[in-house]
Structure formats: C-alpha cells, structure tokens
A and B are shown apart, each in its own frame.
Chain A
C-alpha cells in the first residue's frame, strides 16, 4: 500500500492527532512512521487521489494540528511514497537536513502577503509622468488604426508599469524584512504585483502584522493588501 506523507517532525513532538483525519473519502487514518530522531505523519494513500478541496483541507488541518505543539516540516500536497519502509529510508537518508530545517522553523510561522494595485490608477500615474506616453496616447486616440504606435505605447506602458511595481515591491519588502527571519519571493501573479512569504517568529507576529497594516496605510486606497497567516512554513522547508 502506498504511503501518503503529511509532515515530518522531531521524534520528541507530542503528535496529538486525535480528531484529525487524512486525505481521501472515507478519510484515511493518520499514523506515524518513526526513526530515532525523526517522525513522519502518514496515512495510506487512497487510490485515485486528486487535489479536491476536502483533501487539500485535510492536508492543511494536519499541519495546523502539528504546528500547535512544536516544529513540523509540511510536505507539499500530494506526496506519495511506495510504502512505510521507504519513508523510513528517506528519513534516515536526509536526517541531518530535516533536523536542521526543523530547528530553523521552530517557533516561527509563515505569513503570506499579496499586494495589488488598481490598474487605472497606475496608468494615470504613468500618463502623468511620461511625456512620451502622453504623446503616443494622444496620437493613438486620434488614429485608432495606427497599430505600430499602439504597440509602442503598450510596450512603453508595460515597461513603466513593471518599473513602478518593482520599486513598490522592493519598498514594501524592505520595510517588512527586519521583522522576518527569512523571506521567500513567490512569482507575482497577473493580479498581484507582490506575492511574498515571510517567516516570522511567534513573538514578532503582532509587530509584523502591525507593520503590514502601517504599510497599507501609507499607500493610497488603490492598493489592496492581503495578508494570510499564521501558516505552516510551507515556503521555508
């Protein structure tokens, strides 16, 4: 029977798993696979498992439960090994790495920040600040058929937008960085120009949250800040 992996903890983790179940329908029973120093929380891997909402939620619930009592390395969703014996081998083979990472994330939580900016607001700024954009904008407004000018306008705007987003991103991250242990940049999405995870010590969580709100306050209301956390340290393992 294939083995589904949820997380890796130190052997001294209390592993209070009662009331939490695993992926699949019916939900798989959680169990542990141990070596001398480490412990893996696993279950049988249900046949035909897919990333359904229920399963992703189950995976996440296991992390939350483990995190409440000590350090845990969350596995990426959907990781399946051939059997328990192979899990033991993996724990032994990577023992030093896992032990070190557990120390690194101990007492820390991940906070994920996403920031978006209203596009029209950004475009207005670009038009205000670039004479060339204004020139091309006037020209293409009067001559909608001027394809090359349109492309040139769009390309110029694209560069200006990128530059502004890069500046804002650096600006925001730099201001929050002192409160984080580590930072993991996620590729920005179409919607959010900033998508960054911060590893924050528990004692600094409140200060970090304050800092994010202060940062949001500094900006105009055309920015949207989304802060998610505390989370298992997915981005730092």
Chain B
C-alpha cells in the first residue's frame, strides 16, 4: 500500500517530462575525461547538500526534538484507511512540488496505476494516459513507458 512513483526518463522525443528525477545522474554521474573541462553548473549545485553534516547538527537535533514534542503519538496507530491515502498523496505531491522548484518546468506528472500484467511490455512506445487501478485505488504509480 505504499505510494509508488515510477517513471521512465527515456521517453523518446518527449523532452523528458521527468528530467528532474534523474538530473543528479546526468549532472553528477556519467563518464568524464580528466583533461577536459566542464561547463559551469552555477545555480544547479544547490541540489547538492552534505547530508551527513546536516543530520549531525544541533539545528537538526532541535528540529527533531520539537517535531517529537509536537507529535501526536496516537494518530499513527489509529489512522483510518482514508487518512493513510491522504498521507500517500501528500507525500507524492510534495515531492513533485519540490521538483518543480528545483528545475523549472522540468516535471510533468504522469499518473497511472500499477498494472501487473504490463510489467513485461517493455516494447511499448507510447505514454499511457492516466488510469485507475481496478485492484487497489490506493496504489498509485506515476509512470512513463517506452523502450
């Protein structure tokens, strides 16, 4: 019952609707030749944060402590299924909002339910329209397909 977001950046000719999702790979991975230079990535490097430093700081400790103080300790156990659905949605749309902020216009949302039977259809060349799963409406998959 976990929210799944699946995408395929290799959407030929589509202008990579989810370029942001793989931006760190394109900008930060890939082969380099030592003697060659790289163009400036000014304005994009803000994506990179040293997480270890952030996590082990007093600011983080205080934030955790306050979050814990505020926590409704019961709601996690008693949450009705409707509420858990909302949690999943909030998480997913929150991630998309962030994406858009970081690389303007790079992200388009393609939602589609997970269809087990279509897992093997790697040869499909079309994006599929949004669709609801018949088996479980709380499992949601944003996906692009192509090969």
Chain B 83-115 interface mask (CB, 8 Å, partner A; 1/0): 011011001100100100001111000000010
Contact A235 B25 (CB under 8 A): yes
CA distance A189 to B64 in the complex (A): 17
Chain B interface mostly = mixed
The closest CB in chain B to the CB of A126 belongs to B68
Q: Across the interface, do A154 and B60 meet the contact criterion of CB distance under 8 Å?
A: yes
Contact with B along A218-237 (1 / 0, CB 8 A): 01111111111111101101
Which of A112, A140, A184 has the most C-beta atoms of chain B within 10 angstroms of its own C-beta? A112
Q: Is the CB of B27 within 8 A of A141?
A: no
Do A127 and B33 contact each other (CB < 8 Å), given the known contacts A78-B38, A209-B6, A230-B8? no
Give chain A nearest CB distance to B135 CB in angstroms: 11
Complex contact A151–B30 (CB within 8 A)? no
Contact A234 B25 (CB under 8 A): yes
**Contact in complex: A53, B64 (CB < 8 Å):** no
Taking a contact as CB atoms closer than 8 A, the residue among B6, B41, B58 that contacts A226 in the complex is B6
Chain A residues contacting B39 (CB-CB under 8 Å) are 45, 49-51, 78, 80
Given the complex of chains A and B, what is the CA–CA distance between A72 and B94 in angstroms?
35
- Assess the A60–B19 pair: CB atoms within 8 A: yes
Chain A residues with CB below 8 A from B129, complex form: none
Of A57, A80, A127, A155, the contact of B71 (CB 8 Å cutoff)? A127
Contact A228 B22, CB 8 Å, known A76-B27, A80-B37: yes
Contact with B10, one of A49, A64, A78 (Cβ below 8 angstroms): A64
Please, how many angstroms separate the alpha-carbon atoms of A165 and B5 in the complex? 20
Indicate whether A118 reaches chain B with its CB closer than 8 angstroms: yes
Task: Kindly identify which residue among A77, A90, A157, A220 contacts B64, using a CB–CB cutoff of 8 Å.
Answer: A157
How big is chain B's contact interface, by range? 35 or more
Is the Cβ of B9 less than 8 Å from the Cβ of A60?
A: yes
Instruction: Tell me how far the C-beta of A144 lies from the nearest C-beta in chain B, rounded to whole angstroms.
Output: 8
B55 at the interface (CB under 8 A from A): yes
Contact in complex: B9, A228 (CB < 8 Å): yes
Q: Are A225 and B37 neighbours in the complex by a CB distance under 8 Å?
A: no
Q: Is the CB of A77 within 8 A of B87?
A: no
Give the interface centre of B43, B106, B114, B119 by most chain A CB atoms within 10 Å.
B119
Bound CA span A213–B28, Å:
27
- When chains A and B are docked, how far (Å) is the Cα of A155 from the Cα of B64? 8
Known contacts A76-B31, A221-B1: A56-B68 contact under CB 8 Å: no
**Can you sample 27 A-B contacts with CB below 8 Å?**
A50-B40, A51-B40, A51-B41, A57-B16, A60-B9, A64-B10, A76-B27, A79-B31, A79-B37, A81-B36, A90-B33, A112-B25, A118-B91, A124-B77, A154-B64, A158-B61, A184-B29, A187-B51, A191-B98, A206-B119, A206-B120, A216-B2, A224-B4, A224-B88, A228-B8, A234-B29, A234-B30
